């Protein structure tokens, strides 16, 4: 034989740091990246929590006119007319886009479904075009 072992590496030869060598568990680069990601997630969670609405003290109370609190169907209607109501509410203080005298979750469900239908997310919103 000519002393060549077909490219096998000598067991005592140092191994060059290849791609991904910096991603070891104790690497400062990985630790910093993990800390930055954690800080970003905590900051995002705090910002989202700060935007959460508070309790509605007028929940399940009748409106000033004595009418029953708004339920599912009125929520659906208010969601459907939201684009028009929003524009009107910009010019007057007597119109609001959301009824605070409501039944709670059922009004919210109707309101969200109405908004979805109002902006094209109704039953046929996901059908593809023909042609």
In this predicted model, what pLDDT tens digit does every residue of 1-37 receive, in sequence order?
Answer: 555 555 555 555 555 555 555 555 566 667 888 888 9
- 43 and 61 in a single domain? The answer is no
Give the torsion through C-alpha atoms of 84, 89, 95, 101, to 10 deg: 90
Per the structure, the count of domains in the chain is 2
- 61 and 114 in a single domain? The answer is yes
Structure tokens at 25: 């568990």
- 62 and 29 in a single domain? The answer is no
Per the confidence metrics, is the pTM higher than 0.85? no
Closest CA to 107 of 66, 58, 47, 64: 58
- 40 and 72 in a single domain? The answer is no
Structural domain includes residue 85: yes
Higher pLDDT, 117 or 7: 117
Q: What is the pLDDT of residues 67-106, one digit of tens each?
A: 788 888 988 998 898 889 889 889 988 888 888 888 888 9
List the beta bridge partners of residue 102. 70
- Residue 32's domain spans which residues? 25-50
- 78 and 34 in a single domain? The answer is no
- 69 neighbors 60 (Cβ within 8 angstroms): yes
């Amino acid at each position: 034989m000519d002393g060549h072992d077909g490219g096998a590496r000598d067991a005592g030869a140092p191994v060059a740091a290849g791609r991904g060598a910096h991603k070891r568990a104790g690497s400062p680069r990985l630790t910093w990246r993990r800390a930055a990601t954690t800080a970003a997630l905590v900051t995002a969670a705090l910002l989202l929590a700060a935007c959460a609405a508070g309790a509605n003290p007028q929940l399940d109370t009748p409106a000033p006119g004595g009418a029953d609190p708004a339920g599912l169907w009125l929520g659906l209607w208010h969601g459907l007319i939201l684009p028009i109501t929003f524009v009107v509410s910009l010019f007057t203080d007597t119109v609001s886009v959301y009824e605070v005298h409501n039944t709670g979750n059922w009004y919210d469900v109707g309101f969200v479904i109405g908004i979805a239908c109002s902006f094209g997310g109704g039953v046929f919103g996901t059908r593809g075009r023909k042609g």
